[in-house]
Chains A and B, each alone.
Chain A
Amino acid sequence: MSTDHYHGGVVDDIMVVGVGGQGVIVAAAVIADTAMLHGGLDVKLSETRGMSQRGGSVNSHIRIGETVVAPSISPGEVDYLLAFESAEGLRTAPSLVPGGVAIINTQQIVPPLASQGDMSYPFDAAERMALGDRRVTVVDGNGIALEVGELKVAGIVLVGALSTHLPFDVETWQAAIVRNVPPKWKDLNFAAFAAGREVGA
């Protein structure tokens, strides 16, 4: 793949969403580092706001282009949505551009509020996401991670699935993974990335 499209002024807007504790921040750092390590591109990442470790909704914005100005993505301008949790995917779906790509993990985490009776959890989130012209890929990130050998690498499976849409080679992705995971987890994460890349292709 080539990064020529960036020379025409295109900015790729990538949003990673999930629930605090799922590894959204590490995944976002891997994506942004990949673009940075590729060289010659501008990258901005806007970190999640608020209390990320307390089970709330979290999101990270990554913007890649020749020149990137604002660090956060404007509403309705997300090109790629990577959802670690399906209801969080549904929540942010309106942010996608027409024809935008969404990669949705099948994992469903029901918030405690759902037990209070007023609002129910959208178990059909993935189906509802697929409405319109969105290009939705549903990935069993946790299942694939367990096959690879460790649930904790589910986030990198999802990054692998997204990677097929972005113009960076596997070696650059791997270099970015190395920067963001503990050394002893390197091989597992490489395997998770490769498995994710297969389902994303």
Chain B
Amino acid sequence: MDTHLMLGNEAVARGAWEAGVQVAAAYPGTPSTEIVTNLARYDGVYAEWSTNEKVAYEVAFGAAMGGVRALTAMKSAGGSVAADPLISSVYTGVNGGLVVCLAGDPGMASGMTEQDDRYFGRISSMPMLEPADSQECYEYAKRAFAMSEEFDVPVMVRLSIQTAHQKSIVRFDGEIAGEGDGPAGLTRPAPERRPPDRKTEKYCLLPKFSRPLHRSLLERVERLRVFAEASAASGDLAQVVPAAGPVPLQGGGTARIGVVSAGAAYLSAREALPGAAFLKLGMIHPLPLDAIRAFAQTVDRLFVVEELEPYLEEQILAAGILCEGKQWFPQWGELTAVRVGRGFSAAGLDLPRWAEEKAAEDGSVIPRPPVLCTGCPHRGMATAMKKLNLDVHGDIGCYDLTTLPPVSHMHSAVEMGASIPMEQGFMRAGGSETGSLAVIGDSTFLHSGLTGLLNAVHQRTDLTLLIQDNSITAMTGGQTNPGNERTLAGVETKPVDIAGICKALGVEQIEIVDPYDYEACLAALKAGLAYEGPAVIITNRPCMLFPRKIGGEEAFTVDEDVCNACQQCMKLGCPSLSHTEAEHKGRHKVKIDEETCTGCSLCEQLCKPGAISKAKAGVA
């Protein structure tokens, strides 16, 4: 079997492994997570879930300085967290190859913004490759390591959710190709370690050293520009796809149409306009502008198709090459084939496939957003915060799902670690009449919550913090963090004591509470808010999904004769609760799906008439 159907992220991992990567470090983040998840399964790779993206970047950077090939991977927001070492490491350069995988999320399937990560290439002068499918993910990962060592610079492999999360066919090359897609049973030649660098003038960014390093960085950009042109001229990291023929125009006539594109947008553009000529870029920083100019001369109209910002378009225009782009194609969201096709139609091309606007979905069908799982330990506190009508300043995690109805209790959720300092600022502004607090999960607290709490304590802020400790990085699929007993590599380790950290940071009021006990949740919140000075509340139930489902608790059931349809339990937003046909005073009574009920008992606690009881005991 010479073909393999692989996720883009899996293919990056495979290519990196074949290239000899020995250290991989990342913080999980959709859509980049699977790169390191997969690398951890390969022989001879040290892989870790680091505490945050900056730490991960620095671990990989240090490994490269130490003489081995290393990789880090992150989502867009993680790129911003890691921006400091990302920019500095281009000054210093590397020793062993360093590859930085940065995966964007146009369309914001799970991101908080849809920032265009390609500008990281320009702001840092880091060379950037952008694959379009899994085959290129595999190939470019290998190329990136070779380039990194050849040019003594970290190399970015820029992905988008479309490339990272598509499965397409990969053909392996080289001698390692074996049966199966995965790492099982595969071996590779032992990678050689370069002598570790001990070079003050290269790695100490004092002005004395960094000034000359900036000048050599600019010289390196020029060498990379020459490389980009040579590589484009040979059809290596840029390919020209000739036109099938001229493209018909609306109102008659034809034109020779050329399209410059890269990555996921290239596939959308080719799907939209298969007959046009294409210049498909694989290296997107620095750009092969001579190749683009030569291509432009072969067509009547040159279009630039790219997701989000006019990153390519502005550089192409600045080089004096006339092109059309963002006046036709949207600057937001995923650039699917239909959106590109409609852009071409607006530009006057005659494209019957895209002429008629077609719906993808019936908007009248009841929406089904993701919800907190049955038995989720976040539910009790969310309901209690709503009950107390608090201003809730949240963070990044599953608890954001209660921002929406029926719980609707959260009032800010911006970026990793924001909850605590934003709550501090909110309190400095005078707080709210009903009370306010910061809410963060264990993984996010360990990622970037500590410094915010330290600051709040040091500034003697009267602040309440709720740490929803479910002992896992849940939202991205259950990755380990320092609160766990094992690392990604399976090594036994000491779980960090979150209460102990808070104490060490100077918090004197700390309460640990069972989030399945609703009254205890209410009492803990009231006590925390009443306390003068920083107060921390920590919940102590593990995630329902990871690392394993809690079991053994009996399911609950509703006695329909007793249920008075008061709807208190429905405020929990539990997926196992639903309405029955039976009504009381015009409101539906409630039933519990015993198959999925985990027995967390919150609904029983909220049920005033006492209609809810354990299913087995309840049978009269």
B-binding residues in A (CB < 8 A): 19-20, 29, 32-33, 36-37, 39, 42-47, 49-51, 53-57, 68-72, 74-77, 87-88, 90-95, 110-116, 119-122, 125
Instruction: Let me know if A42 and B405 touch, CB within 8 A.
Output: no
Contact A42:B169 (CB < 8 A) given known A54-B370, A55-B371, A71-B267: yes
B607 to chain A, nearest CB (A): 15
In the complex the two chains form, what is the Cα distance from A115 to B268 in whole Å?
Answer: 39
Q: List 21 A-B contacts (CB under 8 A).
A: A36-B3, A44-B166, A49-B110, A54-B372, A55-B370, A56-B368, A56-B369, A56-B371, A71-B133, A72-B166, A74-B337, A77-B358, A90-B362, A93-B362, A95-B361, A112-B575, A112-B577, A113-B368, A113-B405, A114-B366, A116-B405
By a CB distance below 8 angstroms, the chain B residues around A33 are 5
* B217 proximal to A (CB < 8 A): no
Instruction: Let me know if A57 and B578 touch, CB within 8 A.
Output: no
Instruction: Let me know if A50 and B110 touch, CB within 8 A.
Output: yes
In the complex the two chains form, what is the Cα distance from A49 to B334 in whole Å?
Answer: 11
By a CB distance below 8 angstroms, the chain B residues around A39 are 3
Instruction: Let me know if B370 and A44 touch, CB within 8 A.
Output: no
Question: 0/1 per residue, B530-544, Cβ < 8 Å to A?
Answer: 000000000000000
* B588 proximal to A (CB < 8 A): yes
By a CB distance below 8 angstroms, the chain A residues around B7 are 47
By a CB distance below 8 angstroms, the chain B residues around A92 are 360-362
By a CB distance below 8 angstroms, the chain B residues around A54 are 370-373, 398, 401
Instruction: Let me know if B168 and A49 touch, CB within 8 A.
Output: no
- Nearest residue, chain B, Cβ from A85: B368
By a CB distance below 8 angstroms, the chain B residues around A112 are 371, 406, 570, 573-575, 577-578
* B107 proximal to A (CB < 8 A): yes
- Nearest residue, chain B, Cβ from A9: B274
A182 to chain B, nearest CB (A): 15
Having A72-B162, A76-B360, A111-B367, one finds 9 other A-B pairs with CB under 8 Å, namely: A44-B166, A47-B167, A49-B161, A70-B336, A71-B167, A87-B365, A88-B368, A91-B362, A122-B365
In the complex the two chains form, what is the Cα distance from A124 to B371 in whole Å?
Answer: 24
By a CB distance below 8 angstroms, the chain A residues around B477 are 53
Contact A43:B168 (CB < 8 A) given known A76-B359, A112-B573: yes
Instruction: Let me know if A110 and B362 touch, CB within 8 A.
Output: no
Number of A-B contacts (CB under 8 A): 163
In the complex the two chains form, what is the Cα distance from A95 to B267 in whole Å?
Answer: 20
Kindly identify which residue among B4, B5, B367 contacts A45, using a CB–CB cutoff of 8 Å. B5
- Nearest residue, chain B, Cβ from A33: B5
By a CB distance below 8 angstroms, the chain A residues around B133 are 44, 71
Instruction: Let me know if B588 and A53 touch, CB within 8 A.
Output: no
Contact A71:B588 (CB < 8 A) given known A42-B169, A54-B372, A94-B360: no
- Among A19, A54, A92, chain B packs the most CB atoms within 10 A around the CB of A54
Interface residues on B, range: 35 or more
* B338 proximal to A (CB < 8 A): yes
Contact A32:B5 (CB < 8 A) given known A43-B168, A54-B398, A116-B406: yes
B157 to chain A, nearest CB (A): 18
In the complex the two chains form, what is the Cα distance from A29 to B181 in whole Å?
Answer: 13
By a CB distance below 8 angstroms, the chain A residues around B341 are 74
* B475 proximal to A (CB < 8 A): yes
In the complex the two chains form, what is the Cα distance from A49 to B165 in whole Å?
Answer: 8
Q: For window 560-597 of chain B, which residues contact chain A by CB distance below 8 Å?
A: 570, 573-575, 577-579, 588
By a CB distance below 8 angstroms, the chain B residues around A122 are 365-366
Kindly identify which residue among A37, A43, A72 contacts B336, using a CB–CB cutoff of 8 Å. A72
A3 to chain B, nearest CB (A): 15
Instruction: Let me know if B359 and A94 touch, CB within 8 A.
Output: yes
A9 to chain B, nearest CB (A): 10
* B118 proximal to A (CB < 8 A): no
In the complex the two chains form, what is the Cα distance from A187 to B558 in whole Å?
Answer: 38
Contact A70:B167 (CB < 8 A) given known A56-B369, A94-B360, A122-B365: no
Kindly identify which residue among A44, A75, A87 contacts B168, using a CB–CB cutoff of 8 Å. A44
By a CB distance below 8 angstroms, the chain B residues around A95 are 359-361
Question: 0/1 per residue, B400-440, Cβ < 8 Å to A?
Answer: 01000110000000000000000000000000000000000
